[in-house]
Structure 1
Amino acid sequence: MNHRHYLAVAIPLIISTITTPLLGAVDTAVAGQLSSPAYIGGVAVGTIIFNTMYWLFGFLRVSTSGFAAQSLGAQNSSESVLALTRPVCIALFAGLIFIILQKPLEYSALMLIQPDVHTAEFASQYFSLRIWGAPFALVSYCILGWLMGMSLIKVTLFLQISMNVLNIVLDVVFVYVFHMEVYGIAAATVISEITGCLIGCWLVKTNAAIPFKLPPVKLLLDPKPLKKMMAVNRDLLIRTLCLLAVFNLFTAKGAGFGSEILAANAILIQIHYMMAYFFDGFANASSIFTGKAVGNLDRGLYSRTLSLSFQWSLISSAVLAAGYFLLKDAIIPLFTPLESVLEAAKTYDVWIMLYPVTAGFGLIFYGIFTGATEIGPVRNSMLLAALGFLAAFFTAVPAFGNHGLWLAFTLFSLGRSVFLCMAVPGLAARIFGEQYSGRLKAES
Structure 2
Amino acid sequence: MKHILTDRALNREILRLSVPSILANLTVPLVGMVDTALAGHLVDTDGGSAVFIGGISVGAMLLNLLYWNFFFLRTGTGGLTAQAYGRENPRECADIFFRGIALATLVAVVILVLQRPLARLGMLVVSATPRVCELALRYFSIRIWAVPATLALMVFRGWFVGMQDSMSSMWTDLVVNVTNIGASVVLTFGMLGWGGIGFDGIALGTVVAQYAGLTYAVLVCVRKYASVLGTVRREDFAELLRARNMMPFLKMNGNLLGRSLCFTGIYMGYTIIASAFGDVLLACSSIMMQLLMIFSYFTDGFAYAGEALSGRFIGAQDDVMLRKTVRYVFVWSMSIAVLSIGGYAITGLPLLRLFTSDAAVVEAGRRFLPWLLVMPPLGCAAFTWDGIYLGATASRSLFLSMAAAMAGFFACWFGWLWISGAGGAAGLAGAGDICLHVLLAAYFVHLAARTVCLTLCYSRDVLSRVTAYSS
Q: TM-score per shorter chain, which class?
A: 0.7 to 0.9
Instruction: Name the residue aligned to 2:218.
Output: 201
Cα distance in 2 for residues equivalent to 1:237 and 1:331: 34
Identify if the C-alpha distance between structure 1 residues 23 and 246 changes in structure 2 by more than 3 Å, giving closer, same or farther: same
Which of 149, 152, 164 in structure 1 is aligned with 2:177? Answer: 164
- In the superposition, the TM-score normalised over structure 2's length comes to 0.83
Deviates more, 1:335-344 or 1:118-127: 335-344
Matched, 1:295 2:315: yes
* Deviation by residue 1:17-38 (Cα, 9 ceiling, x = unmatched): 3433443454456556775655
For residues 345-424 of structure 1, the aligned pairs below 5 Å read 346=366, 348-396=368-416, 398=422, 400-424=434-458
Instruction: Name the residue aligned to 1:12.
Output: 20
Kindly indicate which of the two structures has a greater share of residues assigned to helix: 1
Instruction: Name the residue aligned to 2:110.
Output: 97
Q: Aligned partner of 2:16: which letter?
A: A
Cα distance in 2 for residues equivalent to 1:358 and 1:211: 39
Which of 416, 421, 430 in structure 1 is aligned with 2:464? Answer: 430
Deviation at 1:248, TM superposition (A): 1.1
Deviation at 1:234, TM superposition (A): 1.1
Identify if the C-alpha distance between structure 1 residues 292 and 125 changes in structure 2 by more than 3 Å, giving closer, same or farther: same
Which of 179, 185, 197 in structure 1 is aligned with 2:202? Answer: 185
SS of residue paired to 1:112: coil
Deviation at 1:107, TM superposition (A): 1.1
Identify if the C-alpha distance between structure 1 residues 405 and 262 changes in structure 2 by more than 3 Å, giving closer, same or farther: same
Deviation at 1:295, TM superposition (A): 1.2
Contact 2:36 2:53 in 1 (8 A): yes
Matched, 1:246 2:280: no
Matched, 1:83 2:96: yes
* Deviation by residue 1:97-134 (Cα, 9 ceiling, x = unmatched): 22221111111111123345454344323212211111
Identify if the C-alpha distance between structure 1 residues 112 and 351 changes in structure 2 by more than 3 Å, giving closer, same or farther: same
Contact 2:94 2:228 in 1 (8 A): no
Cα distance in 1 for residues equivalent to 2:366 and 2:209: 33
Deviation at 1:142, TM superposition (A): 0.4
* Deviation by residue 1:391-426 (Cα, 9 ceiling, x = unmatched): 122244645333332222222122222222221132
Cα distance in 2 for residues equivalent to 1:343 and 1:28: 24
Identify if the C-alpha distance between structure 1 residues 94 and 224 changes in structure 2 by more than 3 Å, giving closer, same or farther: closer
Cα distance in 1 for residues equivalent to 2:302 and 2:70: 21
Cα distance in 2 for residues equivalent to 1:206 and 1:273: 35
- In the superposition, the TM-score normalised over structure 1's length comes to 0.88
Cα distance in 2 for residues equivalent to 1:339 and 1:42: 25
Cα distance in 2 for residues equivalent to 1:311 and 1:20: 25
Instruction: Name the residue aligned to 2:138.
Output: 125
Deviation at 1:66, TM superposition (A): 0.9
Cα distance in 2 for residues equivalent to 1:420 and 1:78: 32
Cα distance in 1 for residues equivalent to 2:40 and 2:285: 13
For structure 1, list consecutive stretches of 5 or more residues without a partner in the other structure.
438-444
Identify if the C-alpha distance between structure 1 residues 385 and 254 changes in structure 2 by more than 3 Å, giving closer, same or farther: same
Contact 1:41 1:263 in 2 (8 A): no
Matched, 1:270 2:293: no
* Deviation by residue 1:257-296 (Cα, 9 ceiling, x = unmatched): 4566555544443333333232111111011111111111
Deviation at 1:247, TM superposition (A): 0.9
Contact 1:378 1:420 in 2 (8 A): yes
Contact 2:319 2:463 in 1 (8 A): no
Matched pairs, number: 435
Q: Aligned partner of 2:241: which letter?
A: L
Contact 2:187 2:196 in 1 (8 A): yes
